[in-house]
Every structure is written in C-alpha cells, then in structure tokens.
Amino acid sequence: MHTFLTRGNALLTFTLSVLAGLTFFCFLSTALNAYSATATIDTVKVLVKNVPDYSAQKEKQDLGYLMFDLQANLDPLFNWNAKQLFVFLTAEYESLDNKLNQVVLWDKIIQRGENANLDMKNMNTNYYFWDDGNGLRGNSNVTLTLSWNVIPNAGMLSIVRGSGSHSFSFPNEYTNVRAQ
Amino acid sequence: MLGSMLEEFQRMNKRQFFYQVLSFGMIVSSALMIWKGLMVVTGSESPIVVVLSGSMEPAFHRGDLLFLTNPTDEPIRVGEIVVFKIEGRDIPIVHRVLKVHEKENGTSKFLTKGDNNRVDDRGLYAPGQLWLTPRDVVGRAKGFLPYVGMVTIMMNEYPKLKYAVLACLGLYVLIHRE
C-alpha cells in the first residue's frame, strides 16, 4: 500500500463495494412491503357523447365524460425506499368490440415529502375517456379503481391496486355535443 | 513506472502469456454467458436498459438502470412501465401504458405516454400507427437502480473514452501477474 495508484485503487474498490452493499440492503429492507391502502371513489355527473376522435380514426367513437370524488390516505405508504408514488385512476369495462378495456382517466405524481392524503371533490379527468368503438352508451358496469406504482430509491417497481372501487353506468342516450 | 512495466513484460515467458490471454477470454465469455442467461430467464431481448431521456422524470432520470422482464403470457395492463421499440427505429423508449383494449381472442392494443410529457405517444409512433401491440414491447420494467447507467451514456457520447477504457483494461489484464 505504498504507491498512489494502489491506494487510489483500494479506496475506489472499497467505496464501490460499500455503495453496492448499501443499495442491496436498501432494496431488501422494503422488498416485502405490501403498499396497500383503501380508496373511496364516487362519480358525479356522468355523460356519454358520440363524436369523431381526430387524434385517432376519423369515425365517430364514444366519448365518456365524468367528474369524480376521491379520498385515499397514501401517507403510510412512504418509507426511506419509496421515492415517489405514481397514482392513477383506471376505468375498466367490457364492450361488444373488446373483452377488456382499461382507460386511465387521471394521474398524479406524489413525491416523498409531499402530502399524500388525497381528498378531492368534483375532479375533472386529465385525459379524454375515448372508447375504441361505441361501447360506452348504456354500458352498465364501468368500474373505477385507484392504483399506484411505487418507485423505490433502488429495488422492485410494484403496481398495487387499492381496495375500494366504484361501479357506475353510462346513460342510454347520447348527450348532444352542444349541450354541457 | 513504465520502466518496471517493460521489465515485467520481458520476463514473462510464452506459457504465462498464453495463460493471461486465456484468463482474459474466460472473463469475456463469463460476462457473455451471464448476459445471455439473463436474456433467457427474463424472456426479454434486452434485460437491462439504461434510461436515455427525461420523459419519465421524476421517476427515472437519464442514466438510471432498469431491469426488464417480458412474460409473454401475462397480458399488458395500464400503469405498467413498458420498454418498446417503434418499427424501423432502434432506440428503445421507456413509457407508461395509458389505455388497453383487448379482444376475446387475446389480441390487444395499447397506448403509452411518458410521465413527464404533456401528450400521449401517438406522435412518436410510426406514421399511420395509432396503437402499440405486444410485439413491439421489449420488456416491462420490474427493477430499478439509480445512476449506474451513466457510465454507458458517457461511453456512448464520447467514443474515445470507450476505446481508452478498453485499451487500459486489456493492457492491465495481459500484463498483470495474477
């Protein structure tokens, strides 16, 4: 351990080994966490329209419109290894064209340190609720669920679906495009 | 220092030299075996990828490492982070699934969007392509390591650095006694 190079080499190897070990223990410490929580969801004002989707095909497709209430306390999910929670609200339903449809209506990024106790009323969706076809009118079983993707400092990325969902139906009549 | 290195070089005989070359070959083939083994175990053609853009911030930054799996029998669902390639382009893109429409016979199509982007990825797909299919997917992100991939990005952006590192490594392995 006399030359500059051997000392530098030993120092670098030791630093890298310690960092790797710490990262591995960080991953292990939260590897078995369930990250579960409940969510209360409700819909306010549900409409369906039939208009051409100019960002996709030019035929008329069903466009759902809704506003929702959401309560969920996600504060207990954060720990030293949870860097961020990507929370998203999914609408899941079956239609004549497709056996399974999943559409994300709203999402939010919550980082560690921010308030994660969600309590929102009469929220607008972030994204348009386009169906692939005309399967929304009169659809009697559309389920809204809240899920979150846990992004760790190092480790497994897990997607957890919150317990507590809300089912609703779309009206049987299209709403005229001009009326709101 | 250079003088002592040259002395060592002259002292080595042929057998030692071939032994060094063999050790070097063992290291390279072990690395290759581990990489191919990972490809088989995960089912993905690229089991470890480096995040190249900032379109998934603040979750993933440029230089982070992602571990992918690609279980073809598990269907793709919203919220999953998929790594996909557009036909005709080589660069893999890491984004999140926004919409899924799946038919009775199992065929599905989906739409993706980067967390940090304002709009979905339709503008990124090939002209005329509106949806992605499971065929375009290289894998789904299951594990995450921060910063480790910066080395790969630096080596790609400064090729001279890559050649310098490889040359030093090769020289070191060939000359070093152990």
Q: Do A157 and B115 touch (CB under 8 A)?
A: no
Q: Same domain, yes or no, for B61 and B136?
A: yes
Closest-CA distance of chain A to residue B59, Å: 6
pTM of the model as a whole: 0.83
B138/B58 same-domain check: yes
Q: Are residues B82 and B119 in the same domain?
A: yes
Q: Please give the distance of CA B31 from its chain centroid, rounded to a whole number.
A: 14
Query: Residue A129: is it exposed, middle or buried by C-beta count within 10 angstroms (0-12/13-18/19+)?
Result: buried
Q: Which residues contact A55 (CB under 8 A, 6 or more apart)?
A: B122
Q: Are residues B139 and B170 in the same domain?
A: no
Q: Least CA distance to B102: which residue of chain A?
A: A100
Domain match, B76 and B132 both = yes
In this predicted structure, what is the pLDDT of residue A178?
Answer: 58
Distance between CA atoms of B149 and B49, rounded to whole angstroms? 8
- Is there a single domain that holds both residue B15 and residue B60? no
- The answer on B168 and B128 residing in a single domain is no
Q: What is the pLDDT of residue A19?
A: 92
pLDDT score for B113: 92
Mean pLDDT lowest among A60-64, A154-158, A176-180, B110-114: A176-180
Q: Average pLDDT of chain A?
A: 87
Domains: count for chain B: 3
How do the pLDDT tens digits run along chain B, 178 residues long? Answer: 666 666 666 666 778 878 888 888 898 999 999 999 988 888 888 888 898 888 888 889 989 999 998 887 888 999 999 999 888 888 889 999 999 999 888 889 999 999 988 888 888 888 888 899 988 888 899 999 988 888 888 888 888 888 888 888 777 766 665 4
Shared domain for B36 and B73, answered yes or no, is: no
Q: Which of the residues B57, B97, B100 would you substitute to probe the A interface, choosing the one with the greatest number of A C-beta atoms within 10 Å?
A: B100
CATH number assigned to the domain comprising residue B67: 2.10.109.10
**Domain range for B30:** 1-41
Taking residues A106-117, report their average pLDDT: 90
B123 and B74 part of one domain: yes
Chains A and B form CB pairs within 8 A to the count of: 78
Percent of chain A at pLDDT exceeding 70: 97
Chain B residues close to A101, C-beta within 8 Å = 99-102
* pLDDT at residue number A53: 78
Q: Residue A147 and residue B79: Cβ atoms within 8 Å? A: yes
CA B173 from chain centre, in angstroms, equals 25
Same domain, yes or no: B31 and B91:
no
Structure tokens at B79: 């919220």
A34-45 mean pLDDT: 86
For position B15, what pLDDT does the model report? Answer: 82
Q: Is the pLDDT of residue A180 over 60?
A: no
Same domain, B74 and B18: no
Tell me: pLDDT of A55 over 80.
Answer: no
Instruction: Judge if B113 and B138 occupy the same domain.
Output: yes
